[in-house]
Amino acid sequence: MGQEAPVGVKEGADSGGSSVSRFVSVVVPLLLLASLAALPLASPSPNIIRLLFVTLTLVTASVGWNLIGGFAGQISFGFAVFYGLGAYTTALSINGGVPPLIAFLLGAIVAAVASLLIGLPTFRLKGPYFAIATIGVSEAVRVVMMNVPFTGGASGYRIIDKTRFVQSHHYYTALVLAVLAVGISILVRRSKLGLALIAIREDQDAASDLGVNPFVAKLLVHALAAALAGAAGGVYARYALFIDPDGVFAFRNGVAILLMPIIGGVGTIWGPVIGAFVYGLIHEEVVANFPQAHLLIFGSLLILIILFEPGGVVGLFKKFMRSLRARSSVGSHS
Amino acid sequence: MSAADFLNLFIAAVLLAGVYAAMSVGMTIIYGVMKIVNLAHAGFLMLGAYFVFEAYDRFKIDPLLGVLLAFPVFFFIGMGVHWLLVRRIATSDQPTLTSLLLLFGVWLVLQNLGYLIWGNSDRAILTPRTLSSVEIGPISFPTIRLAVFIVAVASLVGLEFILHKTWFGRSVRALMQNKEAGQIVGVNVNRTAQIAFGVGIAFAGAAGGLLAMLYSFNPDFGASFQLRAFVIIVLGGLESFGGVAVGSLILALAETFVILILPASYQPAIAFSLLVVALIVLPEGIAGLWAKRRRWA
């Protein structure tokens, strides 16, 4: 009855039995985190910090998307809405004199509330309604934001941040938020909610027969995902100091937030992080070198991943490890 | 508002509904047979627009003739896309994530191929017909809208004929009603799916050509119409051809008459608002409403 062949890896990334996979899933992230945390001390060029800052906000949004898209299997094309609402809420709050941390929180809350507007009418139904509605909401919100007067409409909105600009503060904010997002992702994956979401992804009817309420579970995790994307948008807005509807609400942002977990490995803990780093670090180069064709390249990549390696980078890595192990066990027998 | 104004708006809405129906019917066929939401629909609408434009611009082929040519051309393009990509993914009785993402990828590729080939400037198809108008007493409407409406309705009648009088049409309807039962009585599912995909894309391409005669277009052209097509098929209950007609009329009326109460710049948000209302009030679409009536009776 249910959906066949869902995208993604069936077992979680934390099911590593061997010492190698435990090393990969614990030590490597910690080493990466330590080097990211220490990086500003080495005083690299501001452009590298900026690139990593943007990448870290993308990690947050990507990990957020994976909660609903990867764990629960509900594809959303409209995460630009949450990102943009978070950005605008933070911008308005900072200009209203709210401290930045509270402003990010408000951004997250507004995004979470907005997620209910999409979730309430669509999550009750099975079928493609949610995915369709997310395409519509993206366009509708952008149109409305182009026309509302109090944020300057299409001409954008400027943030007047009275605190002194220190680039590394922004960088650490983004880093802490990204770590928080990954932490939430791990907690959700290990909780009863995470199991319920995966059950819904595999077979919604069977899940509800076993006492899972798909409507509530999807609504809850969608709000959580939206809050993360909203906070990411807020952190970005405070750094950018200027936002406009065509920038933050653009459909291509929603596309980017969807591409990253798929590149990395949808439905896993580390896939969305890897995907965000791959996308974040290369997409400016790709855009600079192929201004007309960069979405052509990412679109082709999406098709190739779906057809040949739905597990993304993580899936490829697992295949590689499996073939290594197979080869070494053959070696020991001979 | 005078009666003549009202009548003018109403006729404009009906003429628009004809194009909307031609634009949405391809999506319904593909959904009905394969349970795939064709997110690449927008890309083929856009390609259809440029096909008719190039045919007119280079070979002086009348755009209306160009639309007729688009049917066979896009039929084979659709069959090709099915053979190359779509047949490789598993289908189910619900749209799978894989199919959504695959066709979304196809849309991205088509859209950006469009940017690569034609750049991002707006084009329009201007013929002597574009600026002339038909006047009947106080009612007047552009000739081009009437011509587009006639072609759209004629193609829908043609489709209706194919669906009811040919073996392919019977297979399509059988698979839409019950896939397993269709297989038992000997319908070749893969073959029918491939042809149905071709027909769906043929209608997307031709409808793109029709829309290009009414609006200016660029490679991003299809996106807002794809959303409208979604709304229409959701209103129609996803796999009902009669529902598509009614859904088109509702959306066209809503979009036409809403300018009386809201500024025109909000118009693109109408389709989405209607979608949300439809999902809350009529989750099974208008066809579901009919089915309910029948059950009560």
Reduce the secondary structure of chain A to three states and give it as a string.
Answer: CCCCCCCCCCCCCCCCCCHHHHHHHHHHHHHHHHHHHHHHHHCCCHHHHHHHHHHHHHHHHHHHHHHHHHHCCCCCCCHHHHHHHHHHHHHHHHHCCCCHHHHHHHHHHHHHHHHHHHHHHHCCCCCCHHHHHHHHHHHHHHHHHHHCHHHCHHHCEECCCCCCCCHHHHHHHHHHHHHHHHHHHHHHHHCHHHHHHHHHHHCHHHHHHCCCCHHHHHHHHHHHHHHHHHHHHHHHHHHHCEECHHHHCCHHHHHHHHHHHHHHCCCCCCHHHHHHHHHHHHHHHHHHHCCCCHHHHHHHHHHHHHHHCCCHHHHHHHHHHHHHHHHHHHHHHC
Q: How far apart are CA B258 and CA B246, in angstroms?
A: 18
Task: Flag whether pLDDT at B297 surpasses 80.
Answer: no
Q: Tell me, what's the pLDDT at B1?
A: 66
Task: Flag whether pLDDT at B55 surpasses 90.
Answer: yes
**A130 inside 8 A of chain B by CB:** no
Q: Tell me, what's the pLDDT at A249?
A: 85
Buried residues in A33-47 as b, exposed as e (16+ CB within 10 A): eeebeebbeeeeeee
**A306 inside 8 A of chain B by CB:** yes
Task: Flag whether pLDDT at A250 surpasses 70.
Answer: yes
Q: Tell me, what's the pLDDT at A8?
A: 42
Name the more confident of A68 and A331. Answer: A68
pLDDT for A126-176, tens place per residue? 777 888 888 888 878 888 888 887 777 777 888 887 777 778 888 899 999
Q: Tell me, what's the pLDDT at B289?
A: 65
Residue B119 gets the label, from left (phi > 0), alpha (psi -120 to 50) or beta, of left
Q: Which contacts (CB < 8 Å, 24+ apart) does range A206-211 have?
A: A206/A1, A206/A2
Name the more confident of A179 and A289. Answer: A179
From the list A219, A256, A232, the residue with the least C-alpha distance to A89 is: A232
Contacts of A198 (CB under 8 A, 6+ apart): A71, A72, A267
Q: Tell me, what's the pLDDT at B294?
A: 56
Contacts of A195 (CB under 8 A, 6+ apart): none
Confidence of residue A331 (pLDDT cuts 50, 70, 90): low
CA distance between the termini of chain A: 46
Task: Flag whether pLDDT at A224 surpasses 90.
Answer: yes
CA distance B255 to chain A (A): 14
Task: Flag whether pLDDT at A177 surpasses 80.
Answer: yes
Interchain CB distance below 8 Å, A136 and B226: no
Task: Flag whether pLDDT at A235 surpasses 90.
Answer: yes
Nearest to B97 among A7, A129, A136 (CB): A7
Interchain CB distance below 8 Å, A302 and B101: yes
Interchain CB distance below 8 Å, B108 and A255: yes
**A287 inside 8 A of chain B by CB:** no
**A302 inside 8 A of chain B by CB:** yes
Name the more confident of A221 and B119. Answer: A221
Residue B262 gets the label, from left (phi > 0), alpha (psi -120 to 50) or beta, of beta
Contacts of A213 (CB under 8 A, 6+ apart): none
Task: Flag whether pLDDT at A182 surpasses 90.
Answer: yes
Interchain CB distance below 8 Å, B269 and A73: no
Task: Flag whether pLDDT at B257 surpasses 70.
Answer: yes
pLDDT for B103-161, tens place per residue? 999 999 999 899 889 888 888 888 877 777 877 777 778 888 888 889 888 988 998 88
Q: Tell me, what's the pLDDT at B107?
A: 92
Q: Tell me, what's the pLDDT at A184?
A: 94
List the structure tokens of B59: 């070979």
Spell out which residues of chain A touch residue B265, defining contact as CB-CB under 8 Å. 143, 146-147
Task: Flag whether pLDDT at B226 surpasses 70.
Answer: yes
Q: Tell me, what's the pLDDT at A208?
A: 85
Q: What is the mean pLDDT of residues A106-131?
A: 87
Q: What is the mean pLDDT of residues B216-238?
A: 85
Name the more confident of B86 and B1. Answer: B86
pLDDT for A32-56, tens place per residue? 888 888 787 777 788 888 899 999 9
Q: Tell me, what's the pLDDT at A332?
A: 56
What part of A 244-263 touches B (C-beta under 8 Å)? Answer: 251, 255, 262
Q: Tell me, what's the pLDDT at A334?
A: 46
Q: Tell me, what's the pLDDT at A7?
A: 46
Contacts of A24 (CB under 8 A, 6+ apart): A16
CA angle B222, A261, A218 (to 5 degrees): 85
Q: Tell me, what amino acid is at A306?
A: I
Spell out which residues of chain B touch residue A7, defining contact as CB-CB under 8 Å. 97-98, 101
Interchain CB distance below 8 Å, B112 and A292: yes
Task: Flag whether pLDDT at A112 surpasses 90.
Answer: yes
Q: What is the mean pLDDT of residues B157-176?
A: 88
Q: How far apart are CA A119 and CA A134, in angstroms?
A: 9
Closest chain B CA to residue A258: B101
Task: Flag whether pLDDT at B188 surpasses 90.
Answer: no
pTM, to two decimals: 0.86
Q: What is the mean pLDDT of residues A220-229?
A: 95
Interchain CB distance below 8 Å, A303 and B106: yes
Closest chain A CA to residue B272: A136
pLDDT for B197-209, tens place per residue? 999 999 999 999 9
Q: Which contacts (CB < 8 Å, 24+ apart) does range B253-259 have?
A: B253/B10, B253/B13, B253/B17, B255/B13, B255/B16, B256/B9, B256/B10, B256/B12, B256/B13, B256/B16, B257/B9, B257/B13
CB distance A263 to A312 below 8 Å: yes
Q: How far apart are CA B205 and CA B213, in angstroms?
A: 13
Interchain CB distance below 8 Å, A307 and B113: no
List the structure tokens of B275: 């979608």
CA distance A248 to chain B (A): 18
Q: What is the mean pLDDT of residues B31-59?
A: 91
From the list B264, B119, B148, the residue with the least C-alpha distance to B212 is: B148
pLDDT for A286-310, tens place per residue? 888 877 777 888 889 999 998 988 8
Q: What is the mean pLDDT of residues A208-225?
A: 90
Residue A9 gets the label, from left (phi > 0), alpha (psi -120 to 50) or beta, of beta
Q: Tell me, what amino acid is at A48?
A: I
> Lowest-confidence range among A23-27, A241-245, B194-198, B258-262?
A23-27
Give just the sign of the alpha carbon dihedral B285, A215, A139, B82.
negative
Q: How far apart are CA A36 and CA A175, in angstroms?
A: 8
Give me the domains of chain A, ranges plus CATH numbers. Answer: 4-333 (1.10.3470)
pLDDT for B67-108, tens place per residue? 999 999 999 999 999 999 988 887 777 777 888 889 999 999
Q: How many CB pairs under 8 A join A and B?
A: 138
Report the 10 Å Cβ neighbour count for A319. Answer: 12
Q: How far apart are CA A110 and CA B21, in angstroms?
A: 37
Task: Flag whether pLDDT at A17 surpasses 80.
Answer: no
Average pLDDT value over all residues in chain B: 85
CA distance between the termini of chain B: 40
Q: What is the mean pLDDT of residues B242-265?
A: 85
Q: Tell me, what's the pLDDT at A288?
A: 80
Average pLDDT value over all residues in chain A: 84
Q: Tell me, what's the pLDDT at A251?
A: 81
Task: Flag whether pLDDT at A100 surpasses 50.
Answer: yes
